[in-house]
Amino acid sequence: MSNKNFETEAIRTQVERTDFLEHSAPLYLTSSFLFEDAEDMRASFAEEKEKNIYSRFTNPNTSEFVDKICKMEGAEAGYSFATGMAAVFSTFAALLNSGDHIVSCRSVFGSTHALFTKFLPKWNIETSYFKVDETDKLESLIQPNTKVLYAETPTNPGVDILDLELLGKIAKKHNLILIIDNCFATPYLQQPIGFGADLVIHSATKLIDGQGRVLGGVTVGRADLIREIYLFARNTGPALSPFNAWVLSKSLETLAVRVDRHCENALKVAEFLEKHDKVEWVKYPFLKSHPKHEIAKKQMKAGGSIVAFEIKGGIAAGRKFLDAIKMCSLSANLGDTRTIVTHPASTTHSKLSEEDRNEVGISAGLVRVSVGLETVADVLNDLDQALNS
């Protein structure tokens, strides 16, 4: 499934301009909007007309950002949030009731996992997990009260791939709401709605901004579900700021060209690492050696910007590698113009037991590289000298 007019939609989708007819979208830094008279105010609150009332509900800048993402993802409607996690939380909080059940892949973003294990159970919402390579067991986890099927693909940080078509079929058969976190792929590389997803979530903080500046999130998909999410968000206040929406809208105009180069560089990094004698194995969706390479090719336009590899020598070698890095950044973000390296076992996931880490596919020597847009030879040189140190 691919959107043939992707670049055009990213660039030409826009909200109405002011009387100045700005070519580039102006920034609407206003918390509220005026009404003409009592009748205009009544009709606006009654939702008899589409009108901006208050920026906690909607704002021209957030509307433009959401419209663009909807067109790129092939979605009916959407809503934008202050962060990716605000999008994830609000989506679940809006759609689930006490007693509902979620089936999720175990390899999900750390804070999403914390939401499932620490917070949703407070409202009597439980989650059952399947491992990335155990989708054959997925259906056995579905209960009469299961409402949502949730997954990310590619996964963070293991860069595993889940078969979207298969998830779409299972969700349809059991009447579940299929929610896909499409953050790693971006709407440019993969459009899950075409495979049966009901909702797609992005952390816009990552490749959508792509320059490490602002936080943001968005949920798009079926209009009836987005309506519930909108009503929840409008009353609870996780809205995206107009400024960040303006930044993100601009970023979408260059998403395709940026992501093309990210993928080109990442493939070169993956091929280089695969031949390196300090490297045990490499995982990148568009390497033939990836266990789900065929599925990746079916659902993604290219392999993405993230490469995972196993350094020989486990935890100690991973730490030594980070210390030897000269140019690349040690940072928690990903999808930035600057290449970022992390070693989850000694950093983000150091509190987990070895068994729990293996459960989510984080081995002792796993290194995640978010390949940036620098001259790729400079990235390769830095990785090479750090591996050989």
Positions that interact with ligand PLP (CB under 6 A)? 83-85, 109, 152, 156, 181, 183-184, 203, 205-206, 215, 217
Among residues 62 and 205, whose Cβ is nearest to ligand PLP? 205
Total residue count of the chain as it appears in this document: 389
CB-based contacts of 90, cutoff 8 Å, min separation 6? 79, 81, 219, 229, 232, 233, 236, 238
Among residues 176 and 218, whose Cβ is nearest to ligand PLP? 218
Among residues 362 and 386, whose Cβ is nearest to ligand PLP? 362
Rounded to the nearest whole angstrom, what is the least distance from the CB of residue 126 to ligand PLP in the complex?
Answer: 21
Rounded to the nearest whole angstrom, what is the least distance from the CB of residue 72 to ligand PLP in the complex?
Answer: 17
Q: Is the dihedral of CA 381, 382, 387, 389 positive or negative?
A: positive
**In a 3-state reduction of DSSP, which class is residue 31?**
coil
Rounded to the nearest whole angstrom, what is the least distance from the CB of residue 155 to ligand PLP in the complex?
Answer: 8
Determine the Cα–Cα distance for residues 31 and 59; give it in Å rounded to an integer. Answer: 8
DSSP H helices, the chain, are 6-12, 38-45, 60-73, 84-95, 110-114, 164-173, 186-189, 223-236, 242-252, 255-274, 293-299, 314-324, 354-359, 376-388
Residue of 204, 173, 130, 163 whose CA lies nearest to 293? 163
Among residues 179 and 226, whose Cβ is nearest to ligand PLP? 179
Rounded to the nearest whole angstrom, what is the least distance from the CB of residue 203 to ligand PLP in the complex?
Answer: 3
Place of tokens 């008279």: 37
Determine the Cα–Cα distance for residues 12 and 68; give it in Å rounded to an integer. Answer: 9
Among residues 150 and 321, whose Cβ is nearest to ligand PLP? 150
Could you tell me how far CA 291 lies from the centroid of its own chain? 22
Determine the Cα–Cα distance for residues 48 and 141; give it in Å rounded to an integer. Answer: 43
Rounded to the nearest whole angstrom, what is the least distance from the CB of residue 14 to ligand PLP in the complex?
Answer: 24
Pair 223, 77: CB distance under 8 Å:
yes
Among residues 334 and 387, whose Cβ is nearest to ligand PLP? 334
Indicate the helix (H) or strand (E) that contains 341.
strand 340-342
Rounded to the nearest whole angstrom, what is the least distance from the CB of residue 108 to ligand PLP in the complex?
Answer: 7
**In a 3-state reduction of DSSP, which class is residue 79?**
strand
Could you tell me how far CA 270 lies from the centroid of its own chain? 21
Rounded to the nearest whole angstrom, what is the least distance from the CB of residue 217 to ligand PLP in the complex?
Answer: 5
Residue 379 half-sphere exposure toward CB, CA atoms < 13 A: 26
Determine the Cα–Cα distance for residues 158 and 176; give it in Å rounded to an integer. Answer: 26
Among residues 58 and 83, whose Cβ is nearest to ligand PLP? 83
**Residue nearest ligand PLP, CB atom distance:** 84
Rounded to the nearest whole angstrom, what is the least distance from the CB of residue 224 to ligand PLP in the complex?
Answer: 24
Rounded to the nearest whole angstrom, what is the least distance from the CB of residue 156 to ligand PLP in the complex?
Answer: 5
Among residues 210 and 382, whose Cβ is nearest to ligand PLP? 210
Among residues 9 and 152, whose Cβ is nearest to ligand PLP? 152
